[in-house]
A and B are shown apart, each in its own frame.
Chain A
């Protein structure tokens, strides 16, 4: 290779690769059960077979993504120990409790998902079947909660004392509920819901664009966009709170994201732009006072800049783009779903216009992109620390000689898995269009003992 072999560097790339791949499926895995539950609930309440079919078809696609989520999650679980043995040795002493509880949440979710999928027509009462998805929703959201507390701990470690390299005074609960936990878990979980709503909305919008004007797709679109609007507002609000968390506990991360070099009051927010070699910001848009508001809620507040930190303790400045990209997409998603709702309320003839539908389709991949950008920002923004203020990233890494070979192995694996997964999903929905399935089941529905 063109760079000198350093196991820590390769470990970072491989971890980023696995997490970046897992997070796509994990996000969908947390959010889609909620959307399935909403659809099935609507189906029962309105006695509308369209919604029930919606739940059924979403669930069918969902199992395929779950499978990839499960195997890549298993990969991360093992890889954390393989690539970061020293970090995990320390983490095992302090933060293994939520990691352990996460597995129980998965367990719970996996059991009920198995039951849910195979009992569609088994109970006389539809309500009974609906109730089975509830543990799946709870299990998925709790597993996201628990795993994110681990990541919060890496950003704001507490609940132990480190005296001469020996850990004492351990308090697992304090470690779990650290200052980063509230905003981080809330932001992660709500963005899972938002992303899932947009990904499913994308499918509906796309079908309508392709000329399939069946009311089934319109209902799908309506349900997903209504939910997406609620989630996107919550995302922006909680995102703002995350900014306030950073200003207080990890000011250098926020300062790097904002290219905020000097501590000052009435700080402006820098959008986009380009950094000259001498530290001059070019072509950026500045919004006066906005950074002070993001950080502390008042336009006059003082925001700590990078001048307060030694160079070796600050993250790379590239995180600015990741942060901006995420925020931009957040605004976009809120805007698109709001327009849809306004039109469906006031001007129904425009609500299926091409422009709007294409904007919704774009929202699917964009929301996933926002998830990736957000995580890369959060992780690279924590550098040079693996455990903020306690352990630097290279200290946590393995010393093995073969991390590079493993990196190539996993690149191959994920390429193949990603490809197969998309082929399978595509075939599944193309070979069996909704209208066709409705017809089949319509016959079946009449025959059912209701």
Chain B
């Protein structure tokens, strides 16, 4: 495998990690707020807090890892995306800042506040939506690159059906992933009321999720035919994704194997995510930048890959400890610790 492929795979993998943990996190934040204003079920909110509190900072690092890594492996992306994304990027930063800090203020501060809960619940939903702009731009035809200047064609972006369908998918996936995780978590915690609630949420959000995915698949055909044809070449990955989805829904509907069901949801997104990524290659920014011409020098690439594996050796045991103590410790989940 070439260094370019290793580099992009590592980064894509981390972005996938972010996609999953952040979705769980953001969705939970939203449900927390929603249940609070609709006075539904206060028990649920305790459960959400117990899950979220020890892990939110870790979530953020996945994201930081990605954008630091991409500058390291593909420095030219700084030039293209950096210049074009000033405004949308800044808006994302503001959302992330609001989300992270008000979450902490609400959780660790002395009282639970409705305004704070609103701020972090809503900003959490908007963050994924704002990030999708990057994916949309990477499909090409939203950047004007002329006489050494890169500008974003904001009007075009905001009126494009493709870009809105990606935004829609991002929001509903967040709610779907989060609900399917919390179904499992509530079940483990033995919290029947929450379990029923989240099971209903999961089933409900599964429908727009799958509809939006199919919609995007065809929207790409219209928007970037070259990408679409390479997607067809590896269509098995998308079919696999659909099968994972159906299996997950089957288990949740039948109220069986809920842990497996969540893993299947993760696999559903894994295969779709890597199918999308693989078919997008070699372009980082269609048609201006590929992973080959934007790649860092070889010495740095080797150094980064070595640092990456050394880092993994440190992180995997630590993450394992974190999960064992908080996610898979039945006593903790049930609130006995």
Stretch of B80-88, B136-144, B240-248 that contacts chain A? B80-88
Q: Chain A residues near B80: list those with CB within 8 A.
A: 85
Q: Chain A residues near B43: list those with CB within 8 A.
A: none
18 contacts between A and B (CB under 8 A): A63-B108, A71-B99, A73-B64, A75-B93, A79-B90, A81-B67, A82-B89, A83-B86, A85-B79, A92-B71, A93-B297, A93-B300, A106-B64, A111-B315, A118-B325, A122-B337, A172-B303, A173-B303
Stretch of A292-300, A310-318, A413-421, A436-444 that contacts chain B? A413-421
B100 touches A71 (CB 8 A): yes
Q: Tell me, yes or no, whether B65 is within 8 Å of chain A by CB.
A: yes
Q: Chain A residues near B330: list those with CB within 8 A.
A: none
Q: Chain A residues near B87: list those with CB within 8 A.
A: 400, 402, 405-406
Q: Tell me, yes or no, whether B319 is within 8 Å of chain A by CB.
A: yes
Q: Tell me, yes or no, whether A335 is within 8 Å of chain B by CB.
A: no
A398 touches B83 (CB 8 A): yes
Q: Chain B residues near A70: list those with CB within 8 A.
A: 57, 60, 100
Q: Chain B residues near A101: list those with CB within 8 A.
A: 307, 311
A111 touches B83 (CB 8 A): no
Distance in angstroms between the alpha carbons of A169 and B81 in the assembled complex:
27
Q: Tell me, yes or no, whether B101 is within 8 Å of chain A by CB.
A: yes
Distance in angstroms between the alpha carbons of A77 and B109 in the assembled complex:
27
A82 touches B82 (CB 8 A): yes
Q: Chain B residues near A104: list those with CB within 8 A.
A: 307, 311, 314-315
B296 touches A64 (CB 8 A): no
B101 touches A71 (CB 8 A): yes
**A100/B307 contact (C-beta < 8 A), A417-B101, A421-B105 known:** yes
B72 touches A74 (CB 8 A): no
CB distance from A324 to the nearest CB of B (A): 34
B82 touches A85 (CB 8 A): yes
Query: What's the dominant secondary structure at chain A's contact region?
Result: helix
Q: Chain A residues near B61: list those with CB within 8 A.
A: 103, 106-107, 110
Q: Please give me the residue from chain A that is nearest to B63 by CB atom.
A: A74
Within 8 A of A (CB), among B95-152: 96-105, 108-111, 149, 151
Q: Please give me the residue from chain B that is nearest to A406 by CB atom.
A: B90
What bracket does the count of chain A residues touching chain B fall in?
Answer: 35 or more
Distance in angstroms between the alpha carbons of A63 and B57 in the assembled complex:
10
Within 8 A of B (CB), among A376-435: 398-400, 402-403, 405-406, 409-410, 413, 417, 420-421, 424, 427-428, 431-432
A11-55 to B contact mask, C-beta < 8 Å, 1/0: 000000000000000000000000000000000000000000000
Q: Tell me, yes or no, whether B321 is within 8 Å of chain A by CB.
A: yes
Q: Tell me, yes or no, whether A68 is within 8 Å of chain B by CB.
A: yes
CB distance from A327 to the nearest CB of B (A): 34
Q: Chain B residues near A398: list those with CB within 8 A.
A: 82-83, 86
Distance in angstroms between the alpha carbons of A410 and B86 in the assembled complex:
13
Distance in angstroms between the alpha carbons of A160 and B297 in the assembled complex:
11
A96 touches B75 (CB 8 A): yes
CB distance from A14 to the nearest CB of B (A): 9
Q: Tell me, yes or no, whether A348 is within 8 Å of chain B by CB.
A: no
CB distance from B292 to the nearest CB of A (A): 15
Q: Tell me, yes or no, whether A171 is within 8 Å of chain B by CB.
A: yes
Distance in angstroms between the alpha carbons of A73 and B94 in the assembled complex:
12
A96 touches B72 (CB 8 A): yes
- Checking B64, B75, B149, B315 against A92 with a beta-carbon cut-off of 8 angstroms, the contacting residue is B75
Distance in angstroms between the alpha carbons of A79 and B82 in the assembled complex:
8
Q: Chain A residues near B92: list those with CB within 8 A.
A: 78
Q: Chain B residues near A403: list those with CB within 8 A.
A: 86
Q: Chain B residues near A89: list those with CB within 8 A.
A: 75-76, 78-79
- Checking B93, B322, B325 against A74 with a beta-carbon cut-off of 8 angstroms, the contacting residue is B93
- Checking A94, A405, A413 against B97 with a beta-carbon cut-off of 8 angstroms, the contacting residue is A413
Q: Tell me, yes or no, whether A119 is within 8 Å of chain B by CB.
A: yes
- Checking A86, A135, A405, A427 against B318 with a beta-carbon cut-off of 8 angstroms, the contacting residue is A135
Distance in angstroms between the alpha carbons of A104 and B14 in the assembled complex:
13
Q: Chain B residues near A85: list those with CB within 8 A.
A: 78-80, 82-83
